[in-house]
Amino acid sequence: MPDIVLTTLNAKYAHSAFGLRYLLANLGSLRDRATIAEFEISQRPIDILEVLLSLNPRIIGLGVYIWNIEPATRLIGDLKRIRPDITVILGGPEVSYETAGQPIVDLADYVITGEADFTFTDVCQQLMAGERPLNKIIPASLPRFEQLALPYHLYTDEDIAHRVIYVEASRGCPFTCEFCLSALYIPVRQAGLDAFLQEMDTLIKRGVRQFKFVDRTFNLNLHVGRAILEFFLDRQSPELFLHFEMIPDRLPDQLRTMIARFPPGMLQFEVGIQTFNEVVCDIISRRQDNEKAESNLNWLREHTGVHVHADLIVGLPGEDVTSFAAGFDRLVALHPQEIQVGMLKRLRGTPIIRHDVEWQMQYSPYSPYEILSTKLVDFSSMQRLRRFSRYWDLVANSGNFIESTPLIWGSSSPFWSFLEWSDWLFEQTQRTNGIALSQLSELLFRFLTEVHGKDPAEMAQPLWRDYQRGGRNDRPSYLRDYIHEPLPPRNVTSKSLPKRQARHSGTLD
């Protein structure tokens, strides 16, 4: 039986707990006395507790995040009722700041705040030697990245076959955006490049074909960015897929030349625009050259096969609906494959709270701590934007309506047109989830033809092509009067692409 169990509740089975693997890799002499036990938030805390108790550990280290704080609190509460002798050590971003008054902190024995890679080992060594740390809250010293033992050998064959493989070549962020925890981790620290690339080579040889980089600033360091791109370009294959987060206004010619050499579908860039409003950027201490960002996105779409996932945030201080609409339309005009419309969250420790009074920022006190209203956006309007976000994901981002989505706005404003569709859809369904794809398609057909008076025969063609794109071969009843040609052969693409990206390429497995 292990003395130390490292555990967490992942959002999904497909996710892997990257932080736990770092902790295990850096346990030193305690490595053989520890194990990882991963669970999902869909599991009942009482069932997770049963598994943990069956391992009979002396110490449990639990990773706490915004998505698992509530079930994790129940889990530790029940654990302490049954086995108060087991020492519980918490870590993770949700308990690294504002620990006072958190129920899960009150239940636990110790909390390590910050990057706990080395500090967790120190605490475990004390406990195993029969000593007790003096303080319950233990701040971790910022580790030097090049001194960390890399954890990639701890990905199992099952992980490689079924889970997201997270990797990182750097930690920290040089920017100070007040809504983001990464802004608190300065300076940026690089992994030893040779050692990192050697680990990536080993993963490829083990069969890994999809890599998700968690670096917040992949394209900050030109030398490192080029080296990583060149490494993967030399090992390209039809199955290889790389996800990077990219600073939107930094794309020098040296990186452009390298990126343009990648085949379509191999690269995905998550581009955090967040807002195009320069006044709002100033309020939240965000440095962003909007003209350069726009130019870079145009270049990516026109000259590369990169799949672009761009982010905007609803509810920032100083941003009203009209301002957000202008930014949204500006981003739509740049044609990223996906636009993630995210609601502002009040993450613990972030300095966004300094605007609470001036901008009347009201957040839910319950995870995920989303914005409820601001001085410029009342609760009712925020709810409309929340539904807009959800429906945009269901319709535009899903890839199920590639041809049909632009019909919603035509030559009008994408934001205001889609908001009208969003309001109408909610009026028809009174829900934002559990809408079957066939029902969503029929409702879109009705909206276009009944509400906007568009020609049914003309609207039926793109909806029919979208309907088939997902591999469906039935002819829905609402299209039968307008579709008479025989079913074409099913369009098949490589099974290597993530399904959502494959939809945006116009084909599906």
| Domain assignments of the chain as residue spans, ordered by start | 4-142, 164-353, 378-509
Name residues whose C-beta falls within 8 Å of residue 145's C-beta, 6 or more positions apart in sequence.
170, 171, 189, 190, 191, 192
DSSP 486: P
| 4-142: CATH number | 3.40.50.280
- Domain 4-142 and domain 164-353 have a common topology: no
Q: What is the DSSP string of 191-228?
A: PPHHHHHHHHHHHHHTT--EEEE--S-TTTSHHHHHHH
The 10s digit of each residue's pLDDT in 453-499 is: 999 999 999 999 999 887 777 889 999 999 876 555 445 444 556 66
Tell me the one-letter amino acid at 453: G
Total residue length of the chain:
509
Given the candidates 3.50.50.60, 3.90.1010.10, 3.80.30.20, 3.40.50.2000, the CATH classification of the domain at 164-353 is 3.80.30.20
Residue 492 is predicted with a pLDDT of 44
Cα–Cα dist 16/159, whole Å: 7
The 10s digit of each residue's pLDDT in 39-85 is: 999 999 999 999 999 999 999 999 999 999 999 999 999 999 999 99
What is the residue whose two structure tokens read 């292990």? 2
Per-residue tokens: 200? 């990536």
Q: What is the pTM of this model?
A: 0.92
DSSP 118: T
Per-residue tokens: 72? 């994790």
Residue 508: pLDDT band with limits 50, 70, 90: very low
Neighbours of 281 (CB within 10 A): 19
The 10s digit of each residue's pLDDT in 79-129 is: 999 999 999 999 999 999 999 999 999 999 999 999 999 999 999 999 999
Cα–Cα dist 134/111, whole Å: 12
Interaxial angle between packed helices 379-392 and 414-429, expressed in degrees from 0 to 180 and rounded to the nearest 10:
90
Is 133 buried (19+), middle (13-18) or exposed (0-12) by CB count in 10 A? middle
User: In terms of Cα–Cα distance, which of 356, 289, 349, 365 is closest to 316?
Assistant: 356
**H helix count then E strand count, the chain:** 17, 16
Pairing of strands 137-139, 241-246: unpaired
